[in-house]
Amino acid sequence: MLADILAHPKIMKQYFILQFKMLNRQLTEWGIEPVIGYVVGLFAFIGISIKLFEKTQFAEYIYIVLALSLVIKLNEINRNDFLKLCYSKTEYIKIRIVENLIVSIVFITFLLFQEKYLSSILLFISVCLFSLLDFKNKSSFTIPTPFYKYPFEFIVGFRSNYLIYFFAYFLTFMSISVNNFNLGIFSLILTLLSCLNHYTNSENEFYVWVFSMTPKEFIRYKLKNIIQYSTILCLPILITLALFFYTKIDIIVVFQFLGYLFIFTTMLAKYSVFPEKLNIRFGIVFALTFWFPPLLLFIIPYLYIQSTKKLKEIL
């Protein structure tokens, strides 16, 4: 296979140079110097991996799932159709195999380093096989949601991440089974973080422009959606934890309230730079607020003023 790939080095080289440029541009857009991004990324990956393998016996399985989910993300229909149009069948397959290997190589290498030979071989074979598969979703099935009245963040977010929500509910169930309150709180945090994630990407400008509202009304409208819909998603966890750990209801309420504040902050941060995307500076500030939540008292008013200014230009 490698000999085959090397037989057409020019086409492959051009394609991957272009991909490399695109990745560098994306990092720059996030406010990260590409070289620093790669070095920090690699060290962070090694650090997190070492911790993961120390902490849990399921690390190798988590690793396989993570690597395969990245590979599946690359298997996007329109992107693959475009590649098929541009390249011959053999070139297409070679490109797909090489890019799947590039994405998963760090996982395979670390599994080898951890002497998990069977898992690394299995991952390698799966990654190569995935290059030959097309995940064309021809089904017209629409995942139902209770959020139809006020689209779009929770509708799109829930449909994209519904497995995370079901996993969180499963963890809540487990927390009751093993009588572990911390696990229950973790499931609540996971749900709230997933809700927060719905507000990290800037939407197309049209979807802000179209509102006949003042910036303040627009922010109030979004805040109402956040409270209403994140409560719906957290409700099964909140009720279960409140019933089985009723002596710790104050802690549950504090976490839920902090969750609202963090989601609200993310929404404000998004509109404070709109239509630009959130960059690494926000990530650093956000990490600081996680470490010391009272910082939100200063950050929220600042972001609120910035968002109203930005929104005023569009609304």
Kindly state whether residue 216 participates in binding another protein, applying the rule CB under 8 A.
no
Residue 148 tokens, joined: 């139809």
Kindly state whether residue 150 participates in binding another protein, applying the rule CB under 8 A.
yes
Kindly state whether residue 314 participates in binding another protein, applying the rule CB under 8 A.
yes
Q: Which of 100, 41, 38, 96 is nearest to 67 (CA)?
A: 100
Site string for another protein, 242-281 (x = CB under 8 A): ----------------------------------------
Q: How far is CA 119 from CA 46, 75, 105, 167, in A?
A: 18, 22, 13, 24
Q: Kindly state the number of chain residues that form the binding site for another protein, as judged by CB under 8 A.
A: 25
Chain centre to alpha carbon of residue 208: 23
Q: Which stretch binds another protein (CB under 8 A): 55-63, 140-148, 182-190, 259-267?
A: 140-148
Which residue, 95 or 267, has its beta carbon nearer to another protein?
267
The residue within the footprint of another protein, chosen from 21, 73, 79, 159 (CB under 8 A), is 159
Residue in the block written with tokens 């819909």: 229
What is the smallest separation between the CB atom of 210 and another protein, expressed in angstroms?
4
The residue within the footprint of another protein, chosen from 148, 246, 291, 292 (CB under 8 A), is 148
Q: Which stretch binds another protein (CB under 8 A): 112-120, 154-162, 176-184, 300-308?
A: 154-162
The residue within the footprint of another protein, chosen from 61, 113, 207, 257 (CB under 8 A), is 207
Residue 3: is it exposed, middle or buried by C-beta count within 10 angstroms (0-12/13-18/19+)? exposed
Kindly state whether residue 163 participates in binding another protein, applying the rule CB under 8 A.
no
The residue within the footprint of another protein, chosen from 41, 146, 151, 301 (CB under 8 A), is 151
Cα 215 from Cα 315, distance rounded (Å): 7
The residue within the footprint of another protein, chosen from 2, 132, 143, 178 (CB under 8 A), is 143
Determine contact, residues 199/156, Cβ cutoff 8 Å. no
Q: How far is CA 309 from CA 278, 304, 305, 306, 313, in A?
A: 16, 9, 6, 5, 7
Cα 201 from Cα 270, distance rounded (Å): 7
Residues near another protein (CB under 8 A) are 140, 142-143, 148-152, 155-156, 159-160, 203-207, 209-213, 313-315
